[in-house]
């Protein structure tokens, strides 16, 4: 989903238990089930690459969410409003279905809001015009997450401000970088861009500290 650069998408597909044409479901709740976004996903994952489907909530047609989710190899969550995504998922019970999928080893992936949602906390602009802390994520992963660390000018200073005010230790990733967790353990950081960076951002003796994390460029 990184323009014409398929490296991260290819990496996600490589993690699926089914090696040939894995079943991949796009969840575009954060964008209000935007039809154009869904169409771009299907263009990125043609039948030769995967068995692609999508899940809508504004025009919901899937009755048994748990059964549907557990039939997939990969759940891929799009960007948009993290706050709205979480509220809608909990209303429909998708949060419980996703936890069951996570426990069974189904790949859970996403970008922007689709990356924040797996953590307990995050940095978001979905609560208004200003970057704010978001609490009450799904909490599959501990700590906080901040995407677009180099891609949006307000992200880094907002995270530093929050950290100084007692925000949890946070993973901060540049655009093009992805964190691969197995269970709750970070296995590695990968990237589709050669200069993409990743940090663990914490507070030490009153100062914000960015600890660089090793990043493996997928195009090497």
Residue 49 forms part of a structural domain: yes
List active site positions: 112, 148
155 assigned to some structural domain? yes
**196 occurs within a structural domain:** yes
Higher local confidence (pLDDT), 176 or 3: 176
Question: How many Å apart are CA 44 and CA 38, to the nearest integer?
Answer: 10
CATH number (domain holding residue 56): 3.40.50.880
Query: What pLDDT is stored for residue 4 in this prediction?
Result: 86
Residues 112 and 197 in one domain: no
Which pLDDT does position 103 carry in this prediction?
96
Residue 128 pLDDT grade (very low, low, confident, very high; cuts 50, 70, 90): confident
In a domain, 157, yes or no: yes
- The pLDDT value recorded for residue 16 is 97
What whole-number distance in Å separates Cα of residue 75 and Cα of residue 89? 14
pLDDT tier at 220, thresholds 50, 70, 90: confident
Computed over every residue of the chain, the mean pLDDT equals 96
pLDDT, tens digit, 9 for 90 and up, residues 137-195: 999 999 999 999 999 999 999 999 999 999 999 999 999 999 999 999 999 999 999 99
Tell me, yes or no, whether 24 and 70 share the same domain. yes
Query: Per the domain annotation, does 140 fall within a domain?
Result: no
Cβ(184)–Cβ(142) under 8 Å?
A: yes
Do residue 11 and residue 93 come from a single domain?
yes
Which of these, 103, 46, 93, 51, lies nearest to 72 by C-alpha position? 51
Q: How far apart are CA 104 and CA 98, in angstroms?
A: 10
* Predicted pLDDT at 1: 59
Q: Which of 117, 66, 52, 112 is nearest to 88 (CA)?
A: 117
Total domains present in the chain = 2
Containing structural domain, residue 163: 147-220
Residues 12 and 76 in one domain: yes
Q: CA-to-CA distance for 179 and 188, rounded, in angstroms?
A: 6
| 132 domain-assigned | no
Per-residue pLDDT, 97: 98
- CA dist 142 → 96, 135, 145, 161, 202 (Å): 17, 12, 9, 20, 14
Could you tell me if residue 138 is inside a domain? no
Residue 133 lies in a domain: no
Quick one: 8 and 98 in the same domain? Answer: yes
């Amino acid at each position: 989903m990184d323009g014409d650069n398929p490296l991260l998408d290819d990496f996600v597909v490589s993690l699926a238990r089914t090696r040939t044409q894995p079943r991949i479901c796009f969840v575009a709740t954060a964008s209000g089930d935007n039809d154009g976004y869904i169409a771009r996903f299907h263009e990125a994952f043609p039948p030769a690459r995967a068995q692609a489907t999508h899940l809508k909530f504004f025009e919901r047609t899937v009755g048994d969410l748990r059964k549907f989710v557990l039939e997939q190899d990969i759940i891929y969550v799009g960007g948009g409003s993290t706050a709205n995504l979480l509220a809608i998922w909990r209303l429909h019970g998708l949060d419980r279905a996703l936890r069951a999928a996570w426990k069974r080893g189904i790949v859970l992936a996403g970008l922007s809001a689709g990356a924040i949602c797996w953590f307990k906390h995050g940095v978001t602009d979905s609560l208004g015009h200003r970057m704010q802390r978001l609490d009450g994520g799904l909490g599959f992963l501990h700590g906080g997450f901040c995407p677009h660390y180099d891609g949006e000018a307000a992200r880094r200073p907002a995270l530093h401000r929050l950290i100084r005010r007692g925000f949890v230790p946070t993973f901060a990733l540049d655009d093009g970088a992805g964190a691969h967790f197995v269970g709750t353990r970070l296995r590695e950081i990968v990237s589709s861009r050669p200069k993409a960076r990743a940090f663990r951002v914490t507070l030490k003796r009153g100062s914000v500290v960015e600890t660089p994390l090793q990043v493996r460029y997928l195009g090497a």
